Amino acid sequence: MRLELKGLTKKFGSFTADDDIDLVVEPGQIHAVLGENGAGKSTLMNMLYGILQPTSGEILIDGEPVAFSGPGDAIAAGIGMVHQHFKLVGPFSVADNVQLGREHTRGAGVLSARAARKAVLDVSEQYGLRLDPDAVCEDLPVGVQQRVEIVKALSGPKTELLILDEPTAVLTPAEITELLQIMRNLAEAGTSILFISHKLKEVQAVADHITVIRRGKVVAELEPTASESEMASAMVGRAVSLQVDKTPARPGEPRLEVKDLTVVSDAGVKVLDGLELTVHSGEIVGLAGVEGNGQTELARAILGLVKPDEGHISVDGADVHGRPPARRIADGLGYIPEDRGRDGLVSEFSVAENIVLNQYRDAPYAKGGVVDAAAVHKRAVDSIAEFDIRTQSPDETASSLSGGNQQKVIIAREFSRPRRFLVAAQPTRGVDVGATEFIHSRLIAERDTGTGVLLISSELDEIYALADRIAVIYNGRIVGEVAPDTPREVIGRLMVGASATPETPETSTDEDADGGDR
């Protein structure tokens, strides 16, 4: 398939999301589209997939104009899409999810489980996508759910163009490596791919051509040989520093002390197993580890969302056991959750309401127990400007924002009130390079004012850039604390439960690395 967009434009009232976009994707090409949060990338993909109809312009497939009234038309034309936020039905099996909308039937409309399973296995084998068709989707790791979405998109009648909208935003490094290889396999088999991403190294690694969009307009066409600085500058419209500028930390008294912390899951598994950790004022401690080794439970236990089975958590020397999350927040605990959809936002609430979500009872946002709408609105307007939240209005719902702008709403909320300690879990997940630069500088500023910061990130580059001390977590325990100049190989060995110093050549293997994620 050869795809061509000519002058594609989408307006929402007086707001122009995409303005006269021209773009060509050649057969078997991986074509990356870069842009800031809110630049118009997802709107463009939604027009191509039939979810939105263009205000003007043309979509051409193999030189012929097409018009899609819905995703069904796009699928019939050979276009598949994997959305930034997965569209899976959690309690359904892999096979059930893949056949949704195009069910395999036999006889008088009876669903054929055998045909559905075979369809999954056939596509999985063809493209090297390992899947169990009988597995329940909500029980699968995020990376495997991503694989289900790809198989679902490829199971159409003749999928020749695959749209991947921020496909790596929630994946671990190992899962990202696997996905990039899958993309190469698909392209070699003739499938064209439109790849939306903020991660410049991934674009360099896999793209054949790059289009950069800024504020709804195409501003650059680049080759993958372009440097990260060139791509970042084109995206943001200014020079972007990809290095974090910071002075040495000056740690003070302990802010957070975690002692012998144990949390047992509903399945009876110790997800935290006697964990010990201390974070001082004026320092950033980076928590490195393969996702699924207790990071989520530790963050939620600190906030009070998970009740420990054993152990103690103290903030500024005071045991917080029994304090509800609202009390801990009022006492100066900040929290950037790793899952913004589940723990960070109320999607049906407005941007303004979400920005004061943990302060709406307090002055100046409430008077006599009644919310002061004018004060909330002013705070939202100020935060939108300061944190560059791309929204048409403070009254727009959070669900209507792009993922990166939703993250900015959370960042604005947490960085605009006094804190003594901050848990920052995946703080830059899904945000563009300009916003990442801003968030990193704010985290350093927090540290320099005396706040203790626990940084939980699946990005080792981020850990190295920000952390003053690195703690490595494996199987619910801290297995090592190292300086930020420690070689990656050492941290990598610790992350899979091996010794920091290899005793034999077999100490750290690819098999170990793959097996570290529980």
Secondary structure element (H or E) that encloses residue 203, with its range: helix 200-206
CB atoms within 10 A of CB 143: 18
318 within a domain of the structure (yes/no): yes
Helices 142-154 & 113-127 angle (0-180, nearest 10): 100
> 428 and 358: one domain?
no
DSSP E strand stretches across 443-495: 452-456, 469-474, 477-482
CA distance 425 to 234: 28
DSSP string across 108-175: TTEE-HHHHHHHHHHHHHHHT----TTSBGGGS-HHHHHHHHHHHHHTSSS--EEEEESTTTT--HHH
371 within a domain of the structure (yes/no): yes
> 311 and 387: one domain?
no
- The domain boundary, picked from 416, 449, 467, lies at 416
- Is this structure's pTM higher than 0.75? no
> 352 and 473: one domain?
no
> What is the sign of the dihedral through the CA atoms of 188, 77, 12 and 347?
negative
- The domain boundary, picked from 393, 416, 439, lies at 416
Residue type, 246: K
Read off the CATH number of the domain in which 184 is found: 3.40.50.300
Per-residue pLDDT of the chain (518 residues; tens, 9 = 90+): 899 999 999 998 888 999 999 999 999 999 999 988 888 998 999 999 999 999 999 999 999 999 999 988 998 899 988 887 778 888 999 988 888 766 666 655 667 778 888 888 888 887 777 788 898 988 887 768 878 888 888 776 678 999 998 887 666 667 778 888 888 988 998 999 999 987 888 899 999 999 999 989 999 999 999 998 899 899 888 887 777 888 999 999 999 999 999 999 887 889 999 999 999 999 999 999 887 789 989 999 999 999 999 999 999 999 999 899 999 998 899 999 988 888 899 999 999 999 999 888 888 888 888 999 999 999 999 999 998 898 989 999 999 888 788 999 999 999 888 889 999 999 988 788 888 888 999 999 999 999 999 999 988 889 999 999 999 999 999 999 999 999 988 898 898 887 766 654 444 444 444 444 43
Residue type, 359: Q
Domain of residue 375, residue span: 347-416
Name the burial class of residue 333, with classes exposed (0-12), middle (13-18) and buried (19+) by CB atoms within 10 angstroms of its CB: buried
- Domain tally, the chain: 3
> 461 and 375: one domain?
no
> 151 and 281: one domain?
no
CA distance 434 to 134: 42
